[in-house]
């Protein structure tokens, strides 16, 4: 039996001093579960921009189902800028008004959640009313 998992919420780019890194707890959960052999999906929303297209491509390369990823033509893909202080402490700027802030309930997302054996909910995607 294949274990089915789903991440619900943010897929984003952590903009580190060393370069962008795919992130967001639900996306990380799905990527790691897939690497361990689970069938994985992410209910998320990305922008119709280079960051969003790269997430879609990365999910495809990893074998993560993309039928639950929404593409937003107006809001950009989520980003978190990470800066290090002189003593090495990370400071995070979580950008607002991004695609995951507009995540919508869809039949595809609801069906994926109903069929899942495990669900990871992201806290960032719950910051707004929608």
- Domains in the chain: how many in total? 1
CA nearest neighbour of 41 among 124, 103, 119, 125: 119
Note whether 99 and 123 are within 8 A (CB): no
Q: What is the pLDDT of residues 80-102, one digit of tens each?
A: 999 999 998 999 999 999 999 99
User: How many residues does this entry show for the chain?
Assistant: 130
For the entire predicted model, the pTM comes to: 0.91
For 84-94, b where at least 16 C-beta lie within 10 A, e where not — what string?
eeeeeeeeeee
**Residue 46 bridge partners (DSSP):** 71
Domain that holds residue 8: 4-126
Helix (H, G, I), strand (E, B), or coil: what is residue 23?
Answer: strand
- Strands (DSSP E) contained in 1-130 are 4-8, 12-16, 19-23, 39-47, 69-72, 78-84, 90-94, 118-121
pLDDT value for 1: 67
Residue 98 belongs to a domain with what CATH number? 3.40.1190.20
At residue 130 the predicted structure's pLDDT band, cuts being 50, 70 and 90, is low
């Amino acid at each position: 039996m294949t274990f089915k998992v789903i991440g619900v919420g943010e897929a984003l780019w952590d903009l580190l001093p060393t370069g962008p890194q795919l992130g967001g707890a639900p996306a990380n959960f799905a990527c790691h579960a897939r690497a361990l052999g689970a069938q994985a999906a992410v209910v998320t929303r990305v922008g119709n921009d280079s960051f969003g297209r790269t997430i879609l491509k990365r999910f495809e390369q990893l074998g993560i189902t993309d039928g639950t990823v929404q593409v937003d033509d107006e809001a950009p893909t989520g980003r978190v800028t990470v800066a290090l202080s002189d003593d090495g402490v990370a400071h995070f700027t979580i950008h607002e008004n991004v695609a995951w802030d507009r995540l919508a309930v869809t039949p595809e997302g609801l069906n994926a959640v109903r069929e899942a054996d495990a669900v990871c909910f992201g806290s960032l995607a719950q910051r707004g009313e929608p």
